[in-house]
């Protein structure tokens, strides 16, 4: 994870801890939820946000296949939740941590832990 994402992960963790959360799998997910992004430059982050908002179809065309360089960065941004879940699982994280990482960009429904993670993520 690049320094910006490491800082963000610590901020999400601290928001949860300061809110009284002690569930180890939730706190681990806070620290690891963006690990699937890998190294992404600021201009690639900006391009991803703009493309997702303005032309999601173009974004999907640009990231199709396994792309190197800036296209690879866009692809990692798009599917970082699934990539991160795979990395966390391979590293021996709990099934709950892996699940929270995988779903952290999905609607939470009645999932309290996921809703807490998302609220902390959005506030940081």
d(CA 119, CA 124): 9
Domain count, the chain: 1
Residues 18 and 30: beta-carbon distance below 8 Å:
no
The tokens for 47 are 């391009």
Half-sphere exposure of 3 (CA within 13 A, CB side): 1
Choose among 122, 89, 77, 84: nearest CA to 101. 84
Residues 24 and 3: beta-carbon distance below 8 Å:
no
pLDDT digits (tens, 9 = 90+) for 94-122: 999 999 999 999 999 999 999 999 999 99
The pLDDT, as a whole number, for residue 65 is 65
The residue written with tokens 């799998």 in the block is: 25
pLDDT digits (tens, 9 = 90+) for 1-57: 889 999 999 999 999 999 999 999 999 999 999 999 998 999 999 999 999 999 999
Helix (H) or strand (E) holding 95: helix 95-103
pLDDT digits (tens, 9 = 90+) for 54-95: 999 999 999 876 677 899 999 999 999 999 999 999 999 999
Which structural domain range is residue 18 located in? 3-123
Choose among 105, 98, 87, 81: nearest CA to 25. 98
């Amino acid at each position: 994870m690049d320094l910006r994402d490491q800082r963000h992960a610590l901020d999400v963790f601290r928001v949860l801890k300061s809110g009284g959360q002690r569930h180890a799998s939730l706190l681990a997910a806070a620290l690891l939820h963006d690990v699937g992004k890998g190294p992404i430059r600021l201009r690639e982050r900006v391009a991803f946000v703009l493309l997702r908002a303005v032309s999601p179809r173009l974004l999907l065309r640009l990231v199709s296949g396994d792309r190197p360089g800036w296209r690879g960065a866009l692809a990692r941004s798009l599917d970082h939740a699934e990539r991160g879940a795979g990395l966390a699982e391979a590293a021996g994280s709990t099934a709950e941590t892996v699940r929270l990482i995988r779903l952290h960009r999905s609607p939470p429904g009645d999932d309290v832990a996921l809703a807490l993670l998302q609220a902390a993520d959005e506030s940081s």
